Amino acid sequence: MKTKAFAIAAGLAASLLAGTALAQDKSLNMIVIEGGDTTAMQAVVDAYTAENPGVTINLQPYPFAQFFQVAELRLRSADTGIDLVYVDAPLLASYASRGFLSPIDEDIDTASLVPAALDAGQYEGTQYALPINNSAQVLFYNKALFEAAGITPPAGLSAGESASQAEVDELAANGRWTWEQVADAARDITVTEGGRTTTYGFTVEQFGELYQLQPFGESLGSEVIGPDGYVADGYLNSEAWTKAATFWSNLYNEWAVSPKSLGYGEAASLFGNGQLAMFAGGTWNLPILEGTDIDFGVAPYPYFEGGSVVTPTGSWYVGVNAASANQEEAMDFASFLTTSEVGTRAWFDSLQQLPTYIPLLEEISSSADYDAFPDNVFRLGVYDSLNTAKARPVTAAYGQLQDAFRTAFVDIANGVPVADALASAVQKFEAAASRVAQ
């Protein structure tokens, strides 16, 4: 992108500037998740505007719990006050089918992006969003709490140890704990005094969220919904999902090893305060936990005994609002964020999420710079992305599925019978999905 030339002769200004939108001073707006994502995006914005001083990019952050509703309302109203938007991978079909996003400029070179991640940004063969990063989930564990309880922790990676990609692959393939082992250890470590739990054994970072919990049922052999994207009966209420949801219920009720209704980020806080022995969460927690005094390790994401290894995947994409008046400039920033060495490096260095930019992935796998902890944890992400990761369902009714699923699993954690909660979720989703399908 070229900046505006201020020294051109006045007599030539009109002809030279005509039709050169990128030459003009422009102000773009982007809605993002508040917190670490905003900090990381600001790092990318700073790098971009250093190269393009004629462009200003204003970030509009929203809390995670509100973001999806805000994005839906603003896109649906064709709000021209936003140019760029965070797009959660499974919501792309819903946005694209309703004309909320502009097709990605075909001149953008996407050859450096992981093909599967790039494909997830397509709807009916058209690219509508570009992947900012992928995601990897792991099991964090407090080594001191395991030692105090006299329990051997899971095999994992920890401070003072190095691991090549081959060694990490071996750990992920043959050293992965089952959810049953997690529950057994959690029961032994949980401490309750005077009717109050002072140390919890286990929790998940994203309480009740489909992204976090989809591997539960799928490890046991059942998809969340059917292949048409609109049917949940026989899937979400299947024997496999009933077993998975019963396990989830036991964590909060029968075994009482998990705290109820944690907000986003609270699992890492409890863990960092020494009040939580294990949590399943994203690699983005690494810099947070490195800033604490906790001696922790990182193990592969668990699976159910006798089932398949399935891990969460997919993450945020960037799309251009179809109602934006700044299409060319917005596309240029989207390209910088996702397909440039400078943009992808600024994002990764700040947020520590698994890249979809192939040169950076190759560096993580092969460079000695990633042999030591905690950088070698990203090699778990590389293994899972190639071997165990399962994308969320692609359906124009994903928002409705996510809402029904969340309600069911929050209710189950709070004591609602599993069969009742799953039946309600199936009915709620299919009723909403039928309206979307019309």
Q: pLDDT tens, 300-348? A: 999 999 999 999 998 999 999 999 999 999 999 999 999 999 999 999 9
- pLDDT, residue 131, reads 97
Exposed e or buried b per residue across 368-404, where buried means at least 16 C-beta atoms within 10 angstroms of its C-beta: eebbebbbbbbbbbbbbbeebbbebbbbbbbbbbbbb
- pLDDT, residue 229, reads 93
What are the C-alpha distances in Å from 113 to residues 122, 324, 354? Answer: 13, 25, 12
- pLDDT, residue 11, reads 34
- Region 259-287: what's the mean pLDDT? 94
Residue 7 has pLDDT above 60, yes or no: no
For residue 305, give every residue at least 6 positions away whose Cβ sits within 8 Å of its Cβ, in sequence order, or none. Answer: 178, 179, 180
For residue 292, give every residue at least 6 positions away whose Cβ sits within 8 Å of its Cβ, in sequence order, or none. Answer: 272
- pLDDT, residue 263, reads 87
- pLDDT, residue 438, reads 75
Closest CA to 431 of 253, 282, 251, 233: 233
Burial of 135 (0-12, 13-18, 19+ CB in 10 A): buried
pTM for the model: 0.85
Band (pLDDT 50/70/90 cuts) for residue 23 is very low
Helix (H) or strand (E) holding 329: helix 327-339
Residue 255 has pLDDT above 70, yes or no: yes
Q: How many CA atoms lie within 13 A of 346 on its CB side?
A: 21
Residue 57 · residue 30 · CB < 8 Å: yes
Residue 21 has pLDDT above 90, yes or no: no
What are the C-alpha distances in Å from 43 to residues 34, 317, 337, 348? Answer: 14, 17, 10, 10
- pLDDT, residue 267, reads 97
Question: Across the chain, what does the average pLDDT equal?
Answer: 93
Residue with tokens 């994005």: 71
Band (pLDDT 50/70/90 cuts) for residue 24 is low
Residue 4 has pLDDT above 50, yes or no: no
DSSP E strands, 117-243: 122-123, 126-127, 130-131, 137-142, 157-158, 191-193, 196-204
Q: What is the pLDDT of residues 281-295, one digit of tens each?
A: 999 999 999 999 999
Q: What is the pLDDT of residues 48-79, one digit of tens each?
A: 999 999 999 999 999 988 999 999 999 999 99
Residue 434 has pLDDT above 90, yes or no: yes
Residue 153 structure tokens: 């922790």
Residue 14 has pLDDT above 90, yes or no: no
CB atoms inside a 10 Å sphere around CB 273: 11
Helix (H) or strand (E) holding 62: strand 55-62
CA distance 184 to 178: 10
Most confident of 109-118, 170-179, 345-354: 170-179
pLDDT > 70 fraction of the chain, expressed in percent and rounded: 95
- pLDDT, residue 410, reads 98
CA distance 418 to 359: 45
- Region 123-150: what's the mean pLDDT? 96
Locate all alpha helices (DSSP H) within 34-142, ordered by sequence.
Answer: 36-51, 64-76, 92-97, 115-119
Q: What is the pLDDT of residues 376-406, one digit of tens each?
A: 999 999 999 989 999 898 898 998 999 999 9
Q: Domains plus CATH for the chain?
A: 10-16+23-134+314-356 (3.40.190.10), 137-312+391-437 (3.40.190.10)
